[in-house]
Structure formats: structure tokens, C-alpha cells
Chain A
Amino acid sequence: MEAVIDVAGVDKMYRRKVHALRGVDLQVGAGEIFGLLGPNGAGKSTLVKVLLTVIKPTKCTGSLLGKKIGDKSALANVGYLPEHHNFPKYLTSRQVLRHFGAMSGVDRQTRNKRADELLEIVNMSNWANHKLGSYSKGMRQRVGIAQALMNDPKLVILDEPTDGVDPIGRKDIRDILKRLKSEGRTVFLNSHLLSELEMVCDRVAIMVHGLMRQQGTIQELTEDGSGFIIRANAPLSPSAISAFQSSCPSIESAVNPNGLEIKFQTSDADKVQPAIDALRSNGVVIESLGARRPSLEDLFIQAVNEEPGGARPGAQSESPTTSKGAHS
């Protein structure tokens, strides 16, 4: 797949004090919806601003739409919605769209036509001639998204697009994103609203403290943490624990503190069968048995808790007792 964004070793140090980006590598393919996750202060917006020449990187190699990072001409095909945008309040939404269209080099006739079309798409046609000063946060966000699409961009970068938008508005935005994907555009989403990303993204990356922790499709990322959970009706006896561990020594497993649940780190159901047999032969009554797949939120929290120098202060370990074949 052709890479729309392809950067390596992006580094940004502010005034030799704050290390905002620490050698970030990122590839975003054409036509995909890519989500960048991360807690506040992770460096997500800084990375986007580096791509858009708003911030100068300390170090960066790579390209945006086939042109070197920093090349302004590439931006003619990029649409951008900043996180805390502040479009002129003295302009109407139609004027905002036409203004930014002109700034992107869209000719007069096209931008007039496109402004009306986009206002229709973001359900703001009735407010086209009202000044932004009278808009709610959600309405301004809709206009912002329309603004990002004025130049018919190949790449759309949206920084927290659902910020301040009500549930109906969020659904509308999701629909717009799907529409953009169907039109073959690449969408880069910056958000910490995991459920939103999970619903629309083809690939995600998790960024923490200026480092890219994980990157891949949601399927790929969650596969590692997928497995099975067996729940017994009473705490497991030591002999039962010993029995199931010796029955499947190749699978990593963990018993939760109350001794009722066992988690198996494998997506292969066949490998868990000997453990079930061992438990049942030791008189354990299995109350429930199910597949477990971590959510994006689980991955996110896990990534955030994995501090570069150790565990995040105050963070709780998910599994107090873990083993790979043998319970400790």
C-alpha cells in the first residue's frame, strides 16, 4: 500500500527541556483511517503539527504525500482540523469555508460550490449565513470538519474531531469519516476517545510520552492479549491449580486473586481443552467458559502504565499471579 505518511525518527525537544517526541516512526497507508491514541501530553498534536509544518522538528526524515516533510506544496492536498481551533467569529460558516478554500488554492467557482455542498454534508446549511460567534461548540466543530475538506484533500487530519460534539453529532462525524474512506481519502484521527476510534479505524497507534508504543490493525494489536477465561463455582484448590498447569505447560496462564478465574493467553481453543479436562477430573465445577479479547481501552491503559522506566505511579497490575506453564 502506498504510504501517505511515512516518517522515521521524529524528534522534538522544546527549548532543550521538554522532550515531546522521541524518535517516532509512523506509516499511514493511502485510503485507510488511521487513529493515533494517547493520553493528554503524549505528543499526538505535536506529531501532527510537525507533519503540517506548524512545528519544526528537532529531527525528522520522511515524507507526506510523497513530498519531504516541511514542503509546503504537499499541504495543498491536506485538510486539517486543529484540536482547539478558533476560526474567526466575525465570519459566517460559508465565509470561513470560502476563506480557507482560497488559502488552499481552490478556485472561486469550485470553492463556492464546495462550501455549500460541505455545509450540507455537516448539516449546517441552515446556519450558513450566521456568524460563528453565535454557534455552539458542536456546530463550530462541524464547520471545522467542513473547512478541512474544502480543498478536496487526499489526506484529512482531524485532531479530536468529536470534542464537544453530542452523540448524534458523533455519529454524523463517523458517517463522514466512512464516506471519506469510501471516496478513497486517507483519514488521520487524533483522539483519546477510544470507543470512537475502535468503531472507525483500520489501524491505530498508541503513543505515550513521545514514544510510539504500539502500531497496527486493531485485530493485530488485540491478538496478543486474547485468550480464554474459565470461571469455577468455588476457589481452586492447590491440587487443581497444579493439575491444570501441568496439563498445558506451553500456555501462559494466570489465576486471579480470589482463585475463581483462570486466564489463558492463547487464541487457540484446542490448547485449552487439556486444562478443562484436568480441572474437571479434579472435581472443579466450571461455571462459565469464554473467549476473551482485550478492548482498545485495555491496550491503551496497558501502554500508558508501561512507563519507560517502570510502572506508572499508582497503577495496578492486572494479574498478580502469572505463569507460563507453571504457577508461581
Chain B
Amino acid sequence: MILMQTKAIFIDAYRELNAKKLFWLTMVINLLAVFIFASIGINEKGFSALFWTFDGQFNTSMMSAETFYKLQFLLWGVPYWLSWGTTILALISTAGIIPDLVSGGTIEPMLSKPIGRGRLFLTKYLTGLFFVGAQILVFTIGCFLVLLLRAGSTEFGLFLTIPIVLAFFSFLFSVCVFVGIVTRSTITALLLTILFWLMLFILNVGDSIMINQRERALMKAESMPAMVEQQERFAQTKIDRWIDEGKPVPGMDGEPLPAGAEDSLEAVSTALMIAREEADDAEKGVKTWTAWAARVYGAKLLLPKTQETIGLLSRHLIEDEELDGLINLMNENNENSQNGPNSELNQRVAAVYEARTMTWILGTSFAFEAILLGLSTIIFIRRDF
């Protein structure tokens, strides 16, 4: 009976989505996105779009067609289309699932059937994920076929997109379901979920800024001792020369130190004084940014890691060596810049993100989802309708 009821709820969910037209609208947009994905390419001359080729450095000597497609998939397919486009459409389509279920006249016949409230609620929750799952599946199969037909690659790793994007959506959907069961309002559930998503986005931007600033401060603090030491050597040489020349050295043999100087070295070298001050400032900067980064990290710890979850895909889908050609090209273009992909700062920041393990990312995020879903289920089970 459990299977029969579950199947009935899923069929009903499909019919509901079908009636809303959004399911098929999203599917059509999905296929359009796959078509765009297929229409671009790379060959030995350069970048191609439909029937045209744009000659340039960006060609197969820099990266293989397979890497090109995987990169496109990771650069816009997942973060923009699946994470934003599909997710927004999915939230619009599914935000009403729980408020509609608990509305008067609908809930009574459902609860009067031999199905436990907890199971009914969680099955309904799964129907929301079913919407997104179907959309991601179609998009991923489309992209897999493009990769196969256009680049001759059978990259099964592409299918990791399904659980990863589904996990990403489920974090947001748990918020939507919670607000939906508490307020019984579709529009409130949708708006508060989008607001929550925006808050996560801001938090992620804040996290990125804090990590950047902390690493920058650390790099500066790490470079300062050498600079101070160098200035100290210069100052000592100067003092030695003054002693040889019989000149009075401030702070030695009863000579007074000038204002602001802490010792004879600083008294003879303003550069040393400035270097030491900068070293102190760098230390303070490290403390400040480390504290702020820790605060943001603490806040993130309790919340779902949407950005990192999506980022897991690039960890597993593409190897660094595959992008060497592209990175070299970018470095050449950023020769005089410290912001190139291979700059030390970027490498350190990337290392911080890499240090966040999959267990931490998914574990804490699923814990958040489980708590919210658990609360929603308890409310549903205990409520009188």
C-alpha cells in the first residue's frame, strides 16, 4: 500500500505541475539551453558558434574540445542555468505544494486516508524535488550527448550534477516548506525563501571578501619581517659608518633619541620606523580580518553552503592540468597584475576553499535541512486541520 500511495502522490504532483504549465515551460527552456550549449564549440582555428568560426588564440591548441565543453558546463550551465534559472522556476512551481496541501477542503480527504501524516508530508516534500530532478536530468543528458557528439567524450562525471544541484535545491526547498507550513501562504513561502537565498548570497560574498582580506593581510604580515630585517641591516650599516666617522649616534653614548624613535636604528632610518609600523599594522590587520572571517564562517556553519555545494562539481569534473593552456593565456594577459589566476593571493584563497571538505559542506548543509524539515514535519503532525 505504501508504494501505491507514494506513486499516487507523485502522479498527482506531476499532474499539478503539468496543469501549471511551468513544468513544460521549464523543460522547453532547458532544451533551448542544451541547444545553445551544442551550438558553440572550439576548433583548431578558434571559437565557433553555429556556422561561424572566430579565429583567435582561443582554439584547440589551448584546450581540448572536451575541456571546452566541460568548462562551459561549469561556467554557465550549472551556476547560471541550473542554480539560478531552474531553481527560481522550480521554487515558483513548487512553493505552493505544502500551502495547497494544508488548505481547507484539500487536507481533510488526504488525512482521512490510511496514510501516516509524517509519510504524507515527506512524500509531498519529495514531489517538489522530483520537479527539479526531472529538469536537471534532462539538461544533464542533453549536455552529455553534446559532449559525446561534439567532442567524442563520454564524461559520466557530468551526472554528478544531478545529486549536487538537487542537494542545492533541497536546502532552499526545506526553507520554502517550513515557511509554507507555518504561514500556509504560497507567496510568503516563495518570497521568504528568495530572501533567505539572497541572504546566503550576501553571506557568501562576505565570506569571500573576508577570506581575501585575511589572506592579503597574512601575506603582508608574512612579508614584513624580511622587510624590517633589511631596513635594520641598512640602519646598522649607517650606524657603523657614523661611528667610524666619529659622528654622534642618537641613543648611544648619552645622545638623546629623536621623538618617535624607539632605538638608535630607528633614529637613523625613517624607512625602518615606517617598516616596523607597517609590520605592526599588518599584524593588527591579520587579527581583525581573521576575527571577521571567523564570524562569517561561524554564521555559515549553521546555514546551508549553497555556493560550496555547487563548487563541488568543479572539483570533481575538471582537472587543473586540463586548464593549463587557459590559465597561461590569462596570466599573460594579466602579466602586470596581481590578480591573475596563478597569483599567490588567488592560490591561497583557492586553497582555503579547497580545505573545506565535502563532508563539512554537505554534512552541515544537510543538518540544516534535516532540522528544518523535522520541525516542519512535527508542525504538520501536531496541527489540527
Contact = CB atoms under 8 A, between A and B. Distances in A.
B290 interface: no
B336 interface: no
A87 B110 CA distance: 10
Q: What band does the interface of chain A fall in when counting residues whose beta carbon is under 8 Å from B? A: 20 to 34
Contacts of B107: 54
Given A52-B111, A90-B19, A85 B8 contact: no
Nearest to B110: A103
A70 to B, nearest CB: 11
A82 B7 contact: no
Nearest to B100: A88
Contact of A105 (B4, B15, B105): B4
Contacts of A107: 4
Given A75-B112, A90-B19, A102 B105 contact: no
Contacts of B109: 80, 82, 85, 87, 100, 147
Nearest to B111: A54
Nearest to A74: B114
Contacts of B4: 102, 105, 107-108
Interface string B88-114: 000000000000000111111111111
Given A54-B384, A90-B19, A100-B109, A105 B12 contact: no
Contacts, number: 83
A76 B107 CA distance: 17
Interface string B348-385: 00000000000000000000000000000000001011
Given A54-B111, A54-B385, A91 B7 contact: no
A82 B15 contact: no
A99 B18 CA distance: 16
Interface residues of B, number: 29
A105 B1 contact: yes
Q: Interface centre among B5, B7, B18, B111, by most A CB within 10 Å?
A: B111
A78 B15 contact: no
B16 interface: yes
B157 interface: no
Contacts of B202: none
Contact of A103 (B15, B19, B105, B115): B115
A105 B5 contact: yes
B114 A104 contact: yes
B384 A55 contact: yes
Given A95-B15, A99-B12, A80 B108 contact: yes
A54 B107 CA distance: 8
B160 interface: no
7 shortest interchain CB distances as A-B pairs: A86-B105, A90-B19, A102-B8, A82-B108, A105-B1, A52-B112, A103-B113
Given A49-B385, A56-B384, 5 more contacts: A14-B384, A54-B111, A80-B112, A104-B114, A105-B5
10 contacts: A53-B111, A55-B385, A72-B115, A72-B116, A75-B114, A76-B114, A78-B112, A90-B18, A91-B12, A108-B4
